[in-house]
Amino acid sequence: MLAQHFVSWCAVAGSAERASGVALLAEAVTQNRFLPAETREAEAALLFALDDPSPRVRATMARIVAGSDRVSRQLVLGLAKDTDEIATRVVARSPMLSAGDLVDLAQSGSPAVRLAVAGRELLLPEVMAALVASGDRDALLELSRNDDAAIAPDLLRRMGAGFAADGELRHALLLRSDIPADLRHSLLMALGETLCSLPLVQGALGEERVAQLSQELVEQATAALIDLLERTDVAAFAEHLRTTQQLTTAVLVRAVCCGRVDLFAAALARLSRLPEARVRSLIVDASEPSFTALLRAAGVPFAVVPLMLSAVRAWKDVSSGDEIDPVDLASTVMDRVVIAFRAQERGRDDLEAVRDLLHRLASETQRFTARKRAERYLAA
């Protein structure tokens, strides 16, 4: 009888009165004030109110039932297909919407509805995949800012690939702690290109200096990521560096000196096309003939091979000792490499480029060690 009386009353009540009546019913249902039979009657009345001509009535109902799990799914779905102002209230919060419902809304909903979906807590992978497939820039920006969303690496890569030139979305992705290293490197490269393309920068520095600055930014980004690289990211990062032609001698030497022999091995395996297990064995053995053959197969310039061998041997010696502070690992290895190189370069004029590279890496390593020590002191 409650539903019947409500329908009759709505025929004569004004919109403000109907909104108040809907609010009373919705609050009673969500707060479990009715007996089961009365609840069914109240829900029938609320379903009737879905067709109310006044947006105020429907918005009032959406506001009250949005966060409740005691209302019917049919009611929530009806509100989710209303105007954006009403739909977004329930889409953003309602626990009654299933993953399938959210996928449908991401695929066929309005931009405002997709934005509401992207901001929800604990989104499931299929919902996030639907949002990425939509290509909706604003929804993806909201998703990238959603700290509760555990976005799969492949989806993050698709977002980055599609919007690397979008400064706001790129920044939001870079702020996330879960993006894979190869994507972070690509985004940092895109950021560097954007900065170097600014007319102010080009006018102030000139074309030659801008090109040099761009390369320096790429190298600094690579160096920072080598230090922070997770083991699960090593293979993908090595492949990314190979495909973007960033697997330089400097990267390989820096990887060894920083103790990232896993990255060094993964990189050489991809460059030489040898099985990674075999490459690791050759690195650990550090025997001059076989190690030289490995680096030559990887396309490493012959003049750099002794430098690489010195770096690997220094890393083996240093890492096997207990007396070395982990913070000093990179600088200690680099010091030994410098000493070994000085003995090798005597009387040779063809190592100027290698000498410049080594001096630059040694300077960067010293700054890296000093920064790590400062961070340790500040954390103490």
How many other CB atoms sit within 10 Å of the CB of residue 6? Answer: 21
With tokens 């004004």, the residue in question is: 14
Question: Contact at 8 Å (CB) between 241 and 268?
Answer: no
Please report the pLDDT score of residue 191 as a whole number. 83
Q: State both tokens at 267.
A: 């990189």
What is the chain's mean pLDDT, rounded?
Answer: 86
- Find the helix packing angle between 352-379 and 207-228, rounded to 10°: 50
Q: What is the pLDDT of residues 228-267, one digit of tens each?
A: 888 889 999 999 999 988 888 888 888 887 778 899 999 9
pLDDT higher for 210 or 97?
Answer: 97
Asked if the model's pLDDT at residue 194 lies above 80, the reply is no
The average pLDDT across 161-168 equals 89
Per-residue pLDDT band for 323 (boundaries 50, 70, 90) equals low
- In terms of Cβ atoms closer than 10 Å to its own Cβ (0-12, 13-18, 19+), residue 20 is middle
Asked if the model's pLDDT at residue 168 lies above 90, the reply is yes
The average pLDDT across 139-154 equals 95
Per-residue pLDDT band for 1 (boundaries 50, 70, 90) equals low
Asked if the model's pLDDT at residue 355 lies above 70, the reply is yes
Per-residue pLDDT band for 59 (boundaries 50, 70, 90) equals very high
Question: Contact at 8 Å (CB) between 181 and 222?
Answer: no
Cα distance between residue 32 and residue 41, in whole Å: 13
Q: Which residues contact residue 378 at a Cβ distance below 8 angstroms, ignoring those fewer than 6 apart?
A: none
Spacing of C-alpha 138 from chain mean position: 17
Cα distance between residue 107 and residue 131, in whole Å: 7
How much is the pTM?
A: 0.80
Q: What is the pLDDT of residues 279-311, one digit of tens each?
A: 999 998 988 899 999 999 999 888 888 888 888
DSSP result, 328-377: GHHHHHHHHHHHHHHHHHTT-STTHHHHHHHHHHHHHHHHHHHHHHHHHH
- Find the range with the poorest average confidence among 56-70, 103-117, 211-225: 211-225
